Amino acid sequence: MSLESNEWVTCPKCNNRQQVTVWESLNVTLNPKLREDLLTGKVNSFQCETCGSAARIEAPLLYHDMQRRFCVRFIPFRMIGDKDVLEQFSSDGEPVIDEDYDEDEVEFSDYIFSPHLVFDLDELIRYVAFREAVNPHDMPRRARS
């Protein structure tokens, strides 16, 4: 599932405040248009309605491709020391699974619990392009033995 919210953003150039859509999660299998929006710079971007200034919104983002069976998680570099971010990982950098997660209630593939981490939005885009190049088919890869 893709998750979005409307956030108030202040233009760094003219101080105009406006609401913009900020994506937290993109499921490009369920909503393929979001893939194209990410690759063309439309996801988590801001264009001031007053002065036209444009900028990216550096917000955490999970990219999920169910067909190719991979996830990429973007964490803005400025947030690495943030306590809330650090609590989501073990001391060896592995994601911590929510204690309330019930395997019988929700079935996910293992790859969802170990997303590839990136700290730059451009790196997320490059990683998506790489994964699509090594697995260009829309069909899931065979399970490894």
**pLDDT score at 111:** 79
What's the pLDDT score for residue 98?
64
Tell which phi-psi region holds residue 52, choosing left (phi > 0), alpha (psi between -120 and 50) or beta: left
Say whether pTM exceeds 0.85.
no
> Could you state, in order of their start, the residue ranges of all structural domains in the chain?
26-43+59-134
Query: What pLDDT is recorded for position 87?
Result: 80
Name beta bridge partners: 46: 55
65, with CB counted inside 10 A (0-12, 13-18, 19+), is buried
131 neighbors 125 (Cβ within 8 angstroms): no
Residue 103 has a pLDDT of 52
Rg from Cα positions in the chain: 17
Which of 40, 5, 11 lies closest to 25 in space, CA to CA? 5
* Six-digit token string for 20: 């913009």
Low-confidence ranges of the chain (pLDDT < 50): 104-106, 139-145
